[in-house]
């Protein structure tokens, strides 16, 4: 398989954006954050989209953005944590790239996202929400070509592993 794109999936706080930027830099590819692209297209934040229109509307927009992004080539695409929930998104990712799932321990995720107030799914008790969502999504990332636990690794180590596993 010739890798047309590298697609990073995983729960929030697993390192998709940080790793994606470094990977793009290393490979000379373009980095795309699907959430940031969606926000640019909609001229509003994801938190506001959730607040105004609800999660279902946001997920529809997310699918359209992902499909449009993955029609291009030579990119690192970091997806939103919940993008994998829709079967059509998983199929699109597998069709258009090498999919790498990043994971991390709940404690690591809580530490990494604790200062971010712009995550609509984490409103309320942060620890409880992270554990609940991780449980709900525990097999959501199993479709990926490769899985890497980022808990104990540096960004450079993760990038090296992705390049090795994608045969780049």
Residue 150's pLDDT is 96
Ligand-binding site membership of 45 (annotated): no
CATH code of 137's domain? 3.40.50.300
Ligand-binding site membership of 137 (annotated): yes
pLDDT in tens, 26-41: 999 999 999 999 999 9
Ligand-binding site membership of 81 (annotated): yes
Sheet holding 98-103, edge to edge: 30-33, 75-78, 5-10, 98-103, 146-149
Alpha-carbon gap, residue 45 to 24, rounded angstroms: 24
Ligand-binding site membership of 114 (annotated): no
Ligand-binding site membership of 48 (annotated): no
Q: How many domains does the chain have?
A: 1
Ligand-binding site membership of 60 (annotated): no
Cα pseudo-dihedral 56, 60, 61, 62, rounded to 10: 90
Ligand-binding site membership of 28 (annotated): no
Residue 119's pLDDT is 61
Ligand-binding site membership of 35 (annotated): yes
Q: Which domain holds residue 38?
A: 5-165
Q: Which segments in the chain show pLDDT lower than 70?
A: 1-3, 115-124
Ligand-binding site membership of 14 (annotated): yes
Q: Which residues lie closer than 8 Å to 122 by C-beta, 6 or more apart? A: 12, 113, 116, 129, 130
């Amino acid at each position: 398989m010739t890798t047309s794109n590298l697609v990073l999936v995983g729960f929030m706080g697993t390192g998709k954006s940080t790793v994606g930027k470094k990977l793009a830099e290393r490979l000379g590819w373009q980095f795309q954050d699907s959430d940031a692209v969606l926000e640019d297209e909609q001229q509003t934040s994801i938190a506001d989209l959730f607040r105004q229109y609800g999660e279902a509307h946001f997920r529809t927009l997310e699918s359209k953005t992902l499909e449009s992004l993955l029609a291009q080539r030579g990119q690192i695409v970091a997806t939103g944590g919940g993008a994998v929930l829709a079967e059509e998104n998983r199929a699109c990712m597998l069709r258009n790239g090498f999919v790498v799932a990043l994971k991390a321990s709940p404690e690591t995720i809580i530490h990494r996202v604790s200062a971010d107030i712009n995550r609509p799914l984490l409103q309320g008790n942060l620890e409880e929400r992270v554990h609940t969502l991780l449980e709900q999504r525990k097999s959501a990332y199993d479709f990926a070509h490769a899985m890497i636990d980022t808990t104990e690794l540096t960004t450079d180590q993760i990038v090296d592993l992705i390049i090795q596993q994608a045969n780049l």
